[in-house]
Structure 1
Amino acid sequence: MNAGFDVAVVGSGIVGLGAALAAHRRGLRVVVIERGSEASGASVRNFGHLCFTPQAGLARDFALTSRELWLGLALDAGVWLRESGTLVAARRDDEFAVLRDLAATRGVEVELLTAAEAEARMPLAPGTAVGGAFLPRDLQANPRQAVAALAAHLEREGVEFRRRTTVGAVRPGRVETSRGPIDVGRVIVAVNHDIDLLYPEVAERHGIVRCSLDMMRVAAELRMPLAAPLLTGWSLVRYGAFSATPAAAALRERLHSERPDLAALDLNQMYTRLPDGTLIVGDTHSRGATVAPFQAEFAFESMLDETRVLFGVDALRVVERWQGVYASGPDDFLIEEVEPGVHLASATTGIGMTTGLGLAEHVVAAFSDDVTTTADEPGFASAPTTTLQKGAS
């Protein structure tokens, strides 16, 4: 049962599955170790918004690699995917100034929208928008379906999964689990915020804590369907490419001075529409070594109030509420070989779905003899040639 593998992946979230995919496609024998019966962490608790365009620095490199991999997985693994792009609503001139700055950035594809064009393409309350933008390169997945579909695809391809199996220790050449040791050539630890359970000193050295999110799914009668994930002014001070623009500082100052209550929630007001027509609404952010399980109703009430104002609707029916959680640190990623053949890989901001496949490809390519791809491997992209750098978001 515990015969040797070339690669063991600890964790079956999007980074772990991406690592298994990258190693398997290089002809390596892979085992994935998951403590639960299925993934239930950050990879299934997010918007499913694959927001490649707003990324900067290393995150942009990983995002561009991820995009090609996601498109391939839509064909190979049956992942539900929409080539939706992203819509951005600008309700004030300083928000549109950020979009205008981004559109002037070399290599970034942005379609600026007039107020009339924004109102025609987004289900906003009449007279709300002064303009907007469309980011055509972005995609949308359904995280609950995508992670399960990718795991099932890997199993069909011969990747072995050990579920309901806890990892107690990792050392070069061996993973100690609750079902016995596994001999292995290399180990990729992709457990996101639980990195402090296996490597507390590493988590402390990198300043990694947990970030909890308040999120919900609502049913609403909008004046038109939401055709793509929708960002607002609060999003423009979060993502790296937006926040690096000259106009972003003034926007942040205005938002925080006008709405300190929402700033205290660390709001990212954004929306995605699921295949059943419901909207994912969110999200707030709260950081600490431990995530308290208690969610204040004020956060949900605030998000619902902002939703009513944005779309000009009164009736909103909450279908689900949940708490997201992900690793949070001063950089975008944790990438470290802590011992020979033992690699840590985590997105340490809330961009795991967007960049995770590219991050995993980067890590596997770094130790694999075969770092090139062939034209007959659909959806397979070579890893970006990058150096590690401090994240911009």
Structure 2
Amino acid sequence: MTTHADLVVVGAGIVGLAHAAEAVDRGLRVVVLDRDERAVGASIRNFGHICLTAQHGDALAYGLAARERWLSLAAKAGFWVSEAGTVVAARAQDEVAVLAEFAQHRGDQVRLLDANGVRSHLPVISDEVIGGAWFPLDLRVDPREAAPALAAWLAEQGVDFRWRTTVTGVESGAVHTTRGTVTADNVVIAVGHDVDRLLPDVAEAAGVQRCLLRMLQVSTPDSIKIAPAVLSGLSMLRYAGLTACPSAAAVRERITRADPALLDVVMNLMFTQRPDGDLVIGDTHRYGLTHDPFDDEPTGDLVLRETARLLGVDRLTVRARWRGVYAASERSEFLIATPSPGVGVVSVTSGIGMTTAFGLAPTVLDSLGAP
């Protein structure tokens, strides 16, 4: 086993794997440490949605760069990727206005659709839909396949994975674990919402909390194929590119009057279809440092009700339920810190790790002076 590496990555989720992949491209010797025997966190509990178009600023730049990396790595590592894009289904005139404004800023990244145009992409959708937009650059992967496939491919490239290895401390030049110490020229700590377990001062300074999601897997009505990811008017209140449109305020005002319960649970009504045909639906958001372990049924019922309404069906059959957890901060979409020389901390504190990690990794390694 390697006792010294050019780079040690702590955390084998998608953000950690992105840094390992970038380091491999740079010809570095890499060790990846993870406390579990495989990725089981946010990297496999998500929609598999590379939702780059709806981002803004640095997140958009990272997402555009990450898109090319996803396509390249899918070919190398042999996992499925879809280029069917994203459809935003609008059910009110104020939502149509947001999409029109967004299209003015983004040009060919946004294709406006009338109601029939939406239905040409979505064979099942509510009669309430009056228009929408297609984001052709967005991608989809199966997160339950992609993360393991990436780890397996990286191992074939010589990355030394140490599973079931808990990190107990990090300092410049060394990472201490339950299986001994690994020395390194540089260290990247990519443990998501658990950054406070290793570096509580860094997490507190960045305002890092845990965002708890409620998500479900349901059968697809009539086993219909739905190629793109699907967003709704509630998504216009979640993604920075859309919330930056002044017209988005009218959407929030209407929903506040008509159905404030949706805002109380901070719902982003959306879904993607898995390769096995089922839909992944969600999601709601709750923020805190430590969450109670009890899930309330009304929140899950609300997600089911609103998804059925968006699809225009009477009911949905639940296959599975789960809670996702990711790092969140009101101060920034990304936590990037250097608490000591040669030690970098990175966490995507906005729920867009799948979208941005592969674009973010070069910036973090450059900040450490990695060759």
TM beyond 0.5: yes
Identify unmatched segments of 5+ residues in structure 1.
371-393
Partner of 2:340: 339
Partner of 1:216: 216
Residue 318 in 1 paired to residue 318 in 2? yes
SS at match of 1:323: strand
Q: How many pairs align?
A: 370
Alpha-carbon displacement from aligned partner over 1:253-297 (angstroms, at most 9, x marks no partner) = 111221111111100000000011100000000000012221111
Q: Is the 8 A contact 1:119 1:126 kept in 2?
A: no
- Aligned residue type for 2:68: E
Partner of 2:112: 112
Residue 242 in 1 paired to residue 262 in 2? no
Structure 1 CA distance for aligned equivalents of residues 220 and 212 of structure 2: 25
SS at match of 1:105: helix
- Cα drift, residue 236 of structure 1: 0.8
Q: Is the 8 A contact 1:231 1:271 kept in 2?
A: yes
SS at match of 1:127: coil
Distance 1:264 1:7, change over 3 A: same
Structure 2 CA distance for aligned equivalents of residues 223 and 152 of structure 1: 32
SS at match of 2:120: helix
- Cα drift, residue 90 of structure 1: 0.3
- Cα drift, residue 318 of structure 1: 0.5
Distance 1:182 1:97, change over 3 A: same
Structure 2 CA distance for aligned equivalents of residues 215 and 9 of structure 1: 29
Q: Is the 8 A contact 1:335 1:343 kept in 2?
A: yes
- Aligned residue type for 1:214: R
Q: Is the 8 A contact 2:223 2:277 kept in 1?
A: no
Distance 1:133 1:222, change over 3 A: farther
Residue 136 in 1 paired to residue 136 in 2? yes
- Cα drift, residue 134 of structure 1: 0.4
Distance 1:213 1:106, change over 3 A: closer
Structure 2 CA distance for aligned equivalents of residues 269 and 220 of structure 1: 16
Partner of 2:265: 265
Alpha-carbon displacement from aligned partner over 1:233-267 (angstroms, at most 9, x marks no partner) = 00011101100012011111111221111111100
Residue 58 in 1 paired to residue 63 in 2? no
- Aligned residue type for 1:23: A
SS at match of 2:151: helix
Structure 2 CA distance for aligned equivalents of residues 64 and 365 of structure 1: 18
Structure 1 CA distance for aligned equivalents of residues 108 and 335 of structure 2: 26
Q: Is the 8 A contact 2:270 2:307 kept in 1?
A: no
Residue 38 in 1 paired to residue 38 in 2? yes
- Aligned residue type for 2:233: G
Identify unmatched segments of 5+ residues in structure 2.
none
- Cα drift, residue 224 of structure 1: 4.3
- Cα drift, residue 329 of structure 1: 0.3
Q: Is the 8 A contact 2:31 2:160 kept in 1?
A: yes
Q: Is the 8 A contact 1:79 1:145 kept in 2?
A: yes
Alpha-carbon displacement from aligned partner over 1:339-382 (angstroms, at most 9, x marks no partner) = 00000011001101000111122211333464xxxxxxxxxxxx
Partner of 2:153: 153
Partner of 1:255: 255
305-314 or 280-289: bigger deviation: 305-314
Alpha-carbon displacement from aligned partner over 1:154-207 (angstroms, at most 9, x marks no partner) = 000100001100000000000000001111111000000000001111111111
Pairs within 5 Å for 1:1-393: 1-106=1-106, 109-125=109-125, 127-222=127-222, 224-330=224-330, 331-368=332-369, 370=371
Distance 1:254 1:222, change over 3 A: farther
- Cα drift, residue 222 of structure 1: 4.7
- Cα drift, residue 121 of structure 1: 2.4
Structure 1 CA distance for aligned equivalents of residues 299 and 106 of structure 2: 38
Q: Is the 8 A contact 1:335 1:345 kept in 2?
A: yes
Sequence identity percentage: 47
TM-score between both structures, scaled by the size of structure 1: 0.92
Structure 2 CA distance for aligned equivalents of residues 97 and 137 of structure 1: 21
- Aligned residue type for 1:332: E
Structure 2 CA distance for aligned equivalents of residues 166 and 305 of structure 1: 41
Q: Is the 8 A contact 1:66 1:358 kept in 2?
A: yes
Q: Is the 8 A contact 1:123 1:311 kept in 2?
A: no
Q: Is the 8 A contact 1:166 1:177 kept in 2?
A: yes
Structure 1 CA distance for aligned equivalents of residues 78 and 102 of structure 2: 34
Structure 1 CA distance for aligned equivalents of residues 236 and 149 of structure 2: 32
Distance 1:316 1:63, change over 3 A: same
Structure 2 CA distance for aligned equivalents of residues 362 and 32 of structure 1: 19
SS at match of 1:245: coil
SS at match of 1:319: strand
- Aligned residue type for 1:345: V
Q: Is the 8 A contact 2:173 2:185 kept in 1?
A: yes
- Cα drift, residue 120 of structure 1: 3.0
Distance 1:369 1:167, change over 3 A: closer
SS at match of 1:290: coil
